[in-house]
Amino acid sequence: MSTELITSIDQVTPAWLTRVLSNSNALTQGSVATFAVDTGRGNWSTNAVLNLQYTDGAQGELPQRLFLKLVNTDLEDEFFGDSEVTYYTCDYIDVDDAPLVRCYDAVYSAEKRRYHLLLDDVSQSHFEAYEKPPTLAYGLALAEGFAAMHARWWGAERLAEARQPIHNPERIRRFVSIAEPGLAHILAHFTPEFEPHWPDLMHSLFANHPQAMIARGWEANGFTLIHGDAGHYNIMVPRHDDRPIYIIDRQPFDWSLTTWLGVYDLSFAMLSWEIETRRQLEMPVLEHYHAQLIERGVRDYTWERLFDDYRLCTAMGVYIAVEYCRGGINETAQFHWLPMLKRALTACDDLNCSQLW
């Protein structure tokens, strides 16, 4: 990887592209002659698709389309650091089948609180998972991808190697407290839309579930580095097949959980699905995930433990949805958080999650 931070598309030149592609062995002879730019914006970033042309006789992989992501990590009242850079350049570089897009260059500056990524552009072959109804084949591919990532950093010893210890009780309480102000706003506006017992369930969850999370941390088996935001907007799926999938945009805030129960990522993904789809597919997907973990060397993590962990994590979907309204009803994103909240509460009912607290 290079050391030059790109903060503006104007900094990108054929010479820079030639240098980073050569450093990544994607260009072994010749150079980038020219490129065209298509620009866009993400939630926290400026993005550009670069269409490359090479000099005659150029050799190597010669990627034709690259995705450049420029990110300012310093938001008004929140901050996220270099997690996405380490995601592509460090955490899974020895996991051959990790579901990551190819990364050619990535630089983070703690001083400027900015980073850039130069990735393969997969938009012609893939789109975001929300555009395609989930199937069992997709769910199994998702289970395999998460198992590949989670097994790499499974357990206290490997997390210590990564310098990512299991979160202490204060971190867990902060994670919950960020969301909690949204509860009163939502119940004041949407209680008539809810099942009669849901307000009490939500109050009980915020009062008692965090202690169940804290108690679960006393035993490290099941904990790993997680993505933390694996909804269907952050998963790229093939337009015409089920594989390969790519899990993108790992951008945790400073209050997010980053070392947690691995099955949380799977529970988060499945809470993006319609209720009947989740009911139909969740057990075979979870069973496949468990089998994949065992195949990858995870030991002494029983199916019963995984299923209880899944139930504990599914209830956390309530926090994720409620957090959108911590400053008042978020009308702009209501199309997203309100259905997610209803799906999470329905899943809590289906799985009898409240037994755990």
Same domain, yes or no: 257 and 287 = yes
**Of 120, 155, 187, which residue constitutes the final position of a domain?**
120
195-232 pLDDT, tens digit per residue, is: 999 999 999 999 999 999 999 999 999 999 999 999 99
Residue 263 lies in a domain: yes
The pLDDT > 90 percentage for the chain reads 92
Average pLDDT of the chain is: 95
Question: In this structure, are 220 and 308 located in the same domain?
Answer: yes
Match 């499974």 to its residue by tokens. 154
For residue 1, what pLDDT band results from cuts at 50, 70 and 90? confident
Residue 171 and residue 59 share a domain: no
- Kindly state the average pLDDT of the residues 287-299: 97
Domain assignment present for residue 125? The answer is no
CA distances from 74 to 79, 175, 197, 253 (A): 5, 19, 40, 10
The reported pLDDT for the residue numbered 43 is 66
Answer yes or no: is pLDDT of 67 > 70: yes
Residues 43 and 167 in one domain: no
* pLDDT tens-digit readout, 101-138: 999 999 999 999 899 999 999 999 999 999 999 999 99
Residue 61: CATH number of its domain: 3.30.200
Domain count along the chain? 2
What is the SS3 assignment for 32? strand
What pTM was computed for the model?
0.94
> Domain ends where: 120, 146, 163?
120
Whether pLDDT at 174 is above 70: yes
Tell me how far CA of residue 176 lies from CA of 209, 211, 293, 311, 322, in angstroms. Answer: 9, 11, 29, 17, 10
- CB count within 10 Å of CB 285 equals 24
Do the domain assignments include residue 163? yes
Residue type, 313: C
Cis before 165? omega within 30? no
Residues 226 and 345 in one domain: yes
What's the DSSP call for residue 355? G
**pLDDT tens digits, 43-53:** 667 899 999 99
For 226, the 3-state DSSP assignment is coil
Residue span of the structural domain in which 342 resides? 131-356
Q: Are residues 115 and 184 in the same domain?
A: no
Same domain, 146 and 203: yes
* Same-domain status, 107 and 209: no
